[in-house]
Structure 1
């Protein structure tokens, strides 16, 4: 019992304000995801999805020139972009001498892909029938939204940590949000899919970040 108590106290000592804030954000994002899941699969409400499609359809009808930019933006969270970027990015970080961060980025992306696929299989929601491009797989939560937020969230963190570029956080997160919007514009996902993808990505990102921070700190404490 004394050993267990000592172990718990040691873990508590590793907690920092950053980790505590991350856990708080994790709970908030998880709650948002749970709420959206209830709206879609328990209450079977389509009000938000119907409204969102109507808004983006009217917007595109009034601005037909947006079709090209929408396809361009959505590419930057596609598998064709994120797969090589999620390998090249960590490799560059490791080459720059940031081995731990390289592993964290790689693990965050790999975990996000796996979690997204497991959630899709569990909820088993079909894609919208009126999609404007060829899509495959299931719909809830959006992979573009979830993995895009994970990727650009990691990039924002690394830029702030190693290069002092904190100002990039907002543009990168807005970029991830814009990518999610394109999925609704293309009818590749419902709005609730995209919002759930953001919530799932945020929960995974901050939870993974907090867990890894605890792991690295505990490992250093053990080595000492």
Structure 2
């Protein structure tokens, strides 16, 4: 009786990982398209509301909510002063150099470069938009703040910095909790600018929208010009 020929066993692990990566890329592409269209549409809508219709409804409502909070709970001012620092130039300049340096030292050179590009491009884009729209800051500001108002630099750069870190946390280890916390922290920083009256609410929302648009464009560029490779022990990383 002839011995049956048993075909060599094919490892299912690489196939499973490849399928997982394909699903991730598809989900990321869909999410990126939705985020880009939504954020770009929101930014465009706000420019019409502010510069064409000259509506103050949303801005007045936002200021009123923050004024009510400040009057009811005066202790929130100290919290706001603390939180707003983490969206300032004094924080972002060293953080945008130190964090990529630490990532590079730990072997995540691509992540370091991505964060640097996110912040560098965010700064340039924010300054160009401010120069183009040239909106003055509110005259009711509680503290002095130089520069123009639309879109908010605190909000936009917070989205670029913390939003990029949130994406890297999900990409590297599916740390969804950390990613959500980072985004929430960025949103809080934006609210501090309304609380202090140094930005109109529309400035802050536009800043978040502009930062989200830039992050999607940056991520798209990385996908187009860099290869994806599966590495043992990780879900997916980007090749150098």
Task: Mark yes or no: TM-score above 0.5.
Answer: yes
Partner of 2:217: 207
Q: CA deviation at 1:98?
A: 1.1
Q: Deviations over 1:153-179 (max 9, x none)?
A: 111122222244221111111111111
Any stretches of 5+ residues in structure 1 without a counterpart?
A: 1-14, 219-224
Partner of 1:152: 162
Any stretches of 5+ residues in structure 2 without a counterpart?
A: 1-24, 229-240
For residues 1-224 of structure 1, the aligned pairs below 5 Å read: 16-217=26-227
Partner of 1:4: none
Q: CA deviation at 1:55?
A: 1.3
SS at match of 2:136: coil
Q: Deviations over 1:113-171 (max 9, x none)?
A: 10000000000000001101110100000000000011001111222222442211111
RMSD over aligned Cα atoms:
1.4
CA–CA separation in structure 2 for the residues paired with 1:46 and 1:199: 19
Q: Which has the higher helix share?
A: 1
**Superposed structure 1 runs of 4+ greater than 4 Å apart:** none
Q: CA deviation at 1:26?
A: 1.0
Q: CA deviation at 1:20?
A: 4.2
**Contact in 2 for aligned 1:19/1:213 (Cα 8 Å):** no
**Contact in 2 for aligned 1:94/1:102 (Cα 8 Å):** yes
Q: Deviations over 1:27-78 (max 9, x none)?
A: 2110000000100000000011011111111110111111111000000010
SS at match of 1:188: coil
Moved more, 116-125 or 86-95: 86-95
**Structure of greater Rg:** 2
